[in-house]
Chains A and B, each alone.
Chain A
Amino acid sequence: MDELFYFIIAKYNYWAALVLLFIGLFGMIVRNNLMKKIIGMVIFQTAILLFIVSIGVKRGATVPILKFSPDKQPLLDATAYANPLPHVLILTAIVVGVAILGVALALLQKIQRVHGTIEEDEILEDMRK
């Protein structure tokens, strides 16, 4: 029991990302309202971003900027710094995500103007006419 508890607690960031990932997928695939699909898509993307950001975290580490330790010695030990690369990658991925969200919202507005609704079944019915 302890082992299972440890397994879940020690890797809580993975579990959180996994739960968010499935909430997002559920929203995208099951929901009928296109706005809710977009919300699902954003949750899905954010889950992945959080997952990758969380791997750069290190206990007791500091920001990766060269600075001095309390006894005025330059801190050059790599283990003292958090890994900056995941953050940089995710910064780029966030920008990509925002661009996709923008395009999706613009498309949604156009769909609403053409079909008069954003419910998927009603759009499909409208297209069959």
Chain B
Amino acid sequence: MTDQAPALMILVPVFASLALTLIGPLGHRAAYGLLIVSIAISLASALATMVQVVQTGQSVHYRMGDWIPPMGIELVIDHLSAVVLVLISACALLTAVYSMHTARQDNPDRLNHYYALFALLVAGLLGMTATGDVFNLYVLLEISALSSYGLLARGKGKAYYATFRYLIMGTIGASFYLLGVGYIYIMTGSLNMADLAEILSRPELEASVSVRIGFSLIILGVWIKMALFPLHAWLPNAYSRAGTTTACLIAPLMTKVSVYIMLRIMFTVFSADYIFQQIAWSHLVIYLASAAAVLGMITALSQRDLRKMLTYIIVAEIGYLTGGAWLANTAGYTGAVYHILADGLMTLCLFMAVGAIIYRTGQSTAAAMQGIFQRMPVTASVFLIAAASVVGIPPTCGFFSKWYLLQGAVQAGAWVFVAALIIAGLVAAVMFFRLLEMAFFGRLEDAVSENGTENPHAVPPKIRLEEVPLTMLLPLVISGAALFGLGIYTNEVVQYLIRWSVPAGI
């Protein structure tokens, strides 16, 4: 069984997605059950593969249909992809469990079709991470993008236009990627990543203008997909108008997987030497990343809508990740990879907590936070943990990723990035302090009073506990605990997984 784990991980959600379109008459419970079972199988396969990679210290190669690479498509799972695969399937499983009530609320009709798209998106993301073929990656990129358009458009009303803009931008991004792959194919005649790496390292191709253009187009396409400042305009609208479950699924994963692809293209297909010696865009990219981090956080601070605030935090976090990857040293790279994990969990946790608050209060403005600690103590505590992680307070994992990133930035002498990291952290602190102050001290009647006048002698109403149902609470608590867990086991994660994936030459 473990031999087939890399294929099962991707194929089980694909077939579950097909089955889900057919089982409408069986009702929503059957659909919910099938979704959870299929993603749990993916998670088990991803974990089994990760254990195998850690134990043997070598990457797992799986030949699809036993065609020998570079002719056939192979799945390659090394230390880097193993962690990202576990992150994707774990986040998807938590969201699937969480979706029990919210998905039914957002999709009163044809819930099974919604879940079919959910499973297809997960399959696409897992495939993108596992594949060792650049064209296969394009196809899976489009599979996950298409299912995300379908999921986001289920937000109704204003979501349609936001999704349309995302579709146009996403297609431009993917097309640039395809064009870049075309250029690379013309020069090398290969599509397999390992084979490409070997061919591209030949000295006659190092100086080739076509290869350089191909690289630029691919990276530009990936940047559009991951919403790097200033290409981020599509993200906040598309994500903040989606349904709660959709936002919890897409927000943590889509952009992180795009960052993973950037790392894969930079360091597996091309090499660190080529990127930092021949291309040498580091200065420019680090300025962009710093701008993304600072401006993203400041824009987040100015938002009144909670979900929109979180989407701008994603834009800022993408800045951290990109900067870390382009610092060209081990600490920066470690920070970027570790932050993919940390930020995936943080974003998941924040979106789930805000989703729970919206589910109970029915409003999504910051005013919904008032008195949340009294009404929903568990949700509010998890929100507090996630906020601490975004700000970077130990022992949450957000602190450790920032620590590595700062270390890398100082080593590289990228003082702009150091300043951006610190300023963004401070702005995040102000933003969350404001919200948490409302959550702790905001009185319940403030949330309901309409004329805004305050009567100091009013008797406070009896506090009612209004915690969300267990299916929502459990994933929320697990993701909150994971933020601590990842923080406490930072050394192990870095030592057994990330350290192995550090590319040669940085």
**Interface of A toward B, CB cutoff 8 Å:** 25, 28, 34, 37, 41, 44-45, 48, 51-52, 55, 86, 89, 92-93, 96, 99-100, 103-104, 107-108, 110-111, 114-115, 123, 127
Contact = CB atoms under 8 A, between A and B. Distances in A.
A103 B161 contact: no
Nearest to A40: B168
B182 A96 contact: no
Given A44-B172, A55-B186, A114-B157, A100 B167 contact: yes
Interface residues of B, number: 25
B182 A51 contact: yes
A28 B167 contact: no
B18 to A, nearest CB: 15
A86 B164 CA distance: 30
7 contacts: A37-B168, A41-B168, A51-B179, A93-B139, A96-B139, A104-B168, A114-B160
Interface string B163-193: 1100110011001001100100110000100
Contacts of B158: 114, 127
A28 B150 CA distance: 21
B182 A103 contact: no
B175 A107 contact: no
Contacts of A127: 158, 161
Nearest to A55: B186
B149 interface: yes
Given A96-B142, A110-B153, A48 B167 contact: no
B168 A107 contact: no
Contact of B153 (A34, A55, A107): A107
Contacts of B153: 107, 110
Given A45-B171, A55-B186, A127-B158, A89 B142 contact: no
B138 interface: yes
Contact of B164 (A51, A89, A92, A111): A111
B146 interface: yes
B138 A93 contact: yes
Contacts of A108: 164
B98 interface: no
Contact of A115 (B139, B161, B171, B172): B161
Contacts of A51: 179, 182
Contacts of A104: 164, 167-168
Residue from the set B157, B167, B186 with the largest chain A CB neighbour count within 10 Å: B167
Chain A binding site: helix, strand, loop or mixed by DSSP? Answer: helix
Interface in B185-233: 185-186, 191
Contact of A107 (B138, B142, B160, B191): B160
B172 to A, nearest CB: 7
B146 A41 contact: no
Contacts of A93: 138-139, 178
Contacts of B135: 89, 92
Nearest to B71: A85
Residue from the set B138, B160, B186, B191 with the largest chain A CB neighbour count within 10 Å: B160
A82 B36 CA distance: 47
B157 A99 contact: no
A34 B162 CA distance: 12
A104 B167 CA distance: 7
B151 to A, nearest CB: 11
Contacts of A28: 168, 172
A4 B186 CA distance: 23
A34 B186 CA distance: 34
A28 B179 CA distance: 17
Residue from the set B146, B164, B172 with the largest chain A CB neighbour count within 10 Å: B164
Contacts of B171: 41, 44-45, 100
A92 B139 contact: yes
Contacts of B161: 111, 114-115, 123, 127
Given A44-B175, A96-B139, A107-B149, A52 B164 contact: no
Contacts of B191: 89
A34 B167 CA distance: 12
B157 A48 contact: no
A23 B60 CA distance: 44
B127 to A, nearest CB: 14
Nearest to A48: B179
B113 to A, nearest CB: 13
B223 to A, nearest CB: 16
A55 B149 CA distance: 32
B181 to A, nearest CB: 8
Contacts of B168: 28, 37, 41, 104
A84 B497 CA distance: 40
Contacts of B182: 48, 51-52, 55
Given A44-B172, A93-B138, A111 B160 contact: yes
Nearest to B186: A55
